[in-house]
């Protein structure tokens, strides 16, 4: 089994894979806690779901919170006797980055790019991740990451004003449509939604497909590429 962890500023989102299938999903707040707090949580969540921690043979993670990421690496070493694989700059991914500063691309967005290219080979792609922030990424059918944008999160917009959420929704649609028209002229892109709030757009039928666990799948795939 492979434990995959997406470590964010607000929460840690994790999953356990058996072969290519996710058997367990969980989340935990990114609080200011000691290493043992995270270790005991991971141990408990596995046990409650009938998974022996000894069955975890590898850990793959990405982190936008550097200090917390280092704490989780220490947790894996102490509680699982595993040195985790960390997706970061310089790691082999199979994705070419055609952007000005590749080092600024978040590891979670790179994981999504890897998973999208794997699930939808030889297709132009637009990926919209509705997490705490909303991120958009454009990727060619030749596995070239062309660029992206970061917008306010859906949750914060909903909590502030409902009309702001509607405007954000309209902005996302406009950006994706313009991207299709200006970049992907010969072949329209597949529109992929992911993240916590992607389900809010399901009734509109705007996206081609919703893949909630895109980052976790990407972490598993990158681990396999770097064995």
Q: Which residues are catalytic?
A: 108
Task: Look at the block and give the residue holding tokens 């666990």.
Answer: 213
Around Cβ 202, how many Cβ atoms within 10 Å? 11
Here the contacts of 14-19 (C-beta below 8 Å, separation 24 or greater) are 14/42, 14/216, 15/213, 15/216, 16/46, 16/51, 16/56, 17/216, 17/220
Q: Which of 116, 59, 64 shows the shortest CA–CA distance to 89?
A: 64
CA angle 19, 24, 30 (to 5 degrees): 120
What is the C-alpha separation between 179 and 81, in angstroms, rounded? 45
Q: CA 212 to CA 214: how far, in whole Å? A: 6
Tell me the CA end-to-end span of the chain in Å, nearest whole number: 15
Element (H, E) at 25: strand 21-29
């Amino acid at each position: 089994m492979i434990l995959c962890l997406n470590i964010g500023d607000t929460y840690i989102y994790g999953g356990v894979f058996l072969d290519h299938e996710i058997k367990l999903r969980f989340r935990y707040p990114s609080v200011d806690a000691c290493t043992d707090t995270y270790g005991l949580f991971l141990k408990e969540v596995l046990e409650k779901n009938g998974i022996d921690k000894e069955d975890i043979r590898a850990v793959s993670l990405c982190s936008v919170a550097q200090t917390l990421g280092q704490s989780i690496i220490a947790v894996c070493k102490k509680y699982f006797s595993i040195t985790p694989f960390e997706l970061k700059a310089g790691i082999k991914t199979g994705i070419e980055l055609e952007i000005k500063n590749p080092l600024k691309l978040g590891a979670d967005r790179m994981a999504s790019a890897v998973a999208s290219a794997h699930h939808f080979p030889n297709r132009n792609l637009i990926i919209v991740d509705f997490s705490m922030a909303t991120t958009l990424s454009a990727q060619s059918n030749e596995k070239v990451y062309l660029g992206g944008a970061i917008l306010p999160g859906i949750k914060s917009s909903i909590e502030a004003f409902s009309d702001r959420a509607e405007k954000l929704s309209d902005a996302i649609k406009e950006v994706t449509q313009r991207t299709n028209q200006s970049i992907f002229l010969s072949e329209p892109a597949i529109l992929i939604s992911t993240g916590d709030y992607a389900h809010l757009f399901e009734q509109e039928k705007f996206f081609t497909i919703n893949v909630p666990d895109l980052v976790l799948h990407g972490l598993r795939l990158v681990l396999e590429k770097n064995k």
